[in-house]
Amino acid sequence: MKNHPDNPKNHPSRQSRIRGCLLGGAVGDALGAPIEFMDIHEIRRRYGPAGVTRFETAYGRKGAITDDTQMTLFTAEGLILSTVRSDYQTAPITAVYHAYLRWLYTQDIDHQTRLVNAHGTCAVIDGILTGHQRLFSRRAPGNTCLGALRSGQMGCMDQPINDSKGCGGVMRVAPIGLADDDVEKAFRLGCEAAAITHGHPTGFLPAGFLAALISGLLSDKPLASALDDATRILVQHANHDETVQAIERAMDLWQRKSPSLENLESLGAGWVAEEALSIGLYCALVAGDDFGKGVLLAVNHSGDSDSTGSIAGNIIGVQCGVERIPAGWLGELEMRALIEEIANDLFDRFV
């Protein structure tokens, strides 16, 4: 049986970890984008026995990001603006909610005026990202995210907006872990951010866990220690059983069986939050400091390949730093410069 994982031997800088987390998530997202809705048999038929091994064409180009990276960037924007606007500083979750409304503004082109009238110009338009026209592109946005944000109500844990536990909450919260060294605060805000659109406890608790895990790794904790800290916080919350069991399945699979696409699929398909977290975590455990190994395993399965690739890329990227991401992938990645800009802004605001 394997021991608990340790961090890679290198100790990247904080800025490298932040850039690695956002860029790593985007790379995993882009690798999974062309195969998100394929089963493993179709993936292998199209791309060979190993499945996808490089960027393939999606949305008209190679290296295209999806709604996962879009919403991750808007999460980061909300956090950044929460430090510079006094009306957000007492309630950063409101800044994140408004950032998600701006993401909705980029998706609901035919209803932009109605959105502005309902929430105001400051909430819906004023920001960093609405000035980037390439974000005004639909990349298979989740129906739960769209529906919850269109409702005009901000979901929260105490007053859930629905009973969804889809992965659309967990796949976007990595920046929260990059913005707070206090893992308990990161856990809480991660849950709150996911609960804006996903009201089931298993829709938001995995998001809190991921935010806390990334917060710990950013502080240069060994992976084993970061996992233990995030789990300790998780089990203090009601209705944690499904999330804990999913994490335990990932750990058990990593310890007992050799990595394979078939073994990976025993963790589920990733369409729901606890499965997406489980797959992403398992692939990060398998990867060690081999970024490519982890994200390629994370995307080549019959499920939500871009979300599981994104989560794995976030975890491996913050653990290993940007230097471990293959330069060829970074060179082809859509909107790389903007992602780096947002990563640098997070570093400047939350260093």
Mean pLDDT of 25-46: 97
Cα separation, 233 vs 235, in Å, equals 6
* Domains of the chain with CATH codes: 14-350 (1.10.4080.10)
Q: Report pTM.
A: 0.96
318 pLDDT higher than 90: yes
pLDDT at site 260: 79
**Average of per-residue pLDDT across 340-350:** 97
**Amino acid at site 156:** C
The string of pLDDT tens digits covering residues 126-153 is 889 999 999 999 999 999 999 999 999 9
Q: Which pLDDT belongs to residue 218? A: 97
**Alpha-carbon span 303 to 233, nearest angstrom:** 29
Concatenated DSSP letters of 58-124 = ETTEET---HHHHHHHHHHHHHHHTTT-TTTTT-HHHHHHHHHHHHHHHH-GGGHHHHHHHH-HHHH
Tens digits of residue pLDDT in 80-109: 999 988 778 778 999 999 999 999 999 999
**pLDDT grade, residue 254 (50/70/90)?**
very high
Query: Is pLDDT above 70 for 4?
Result: no
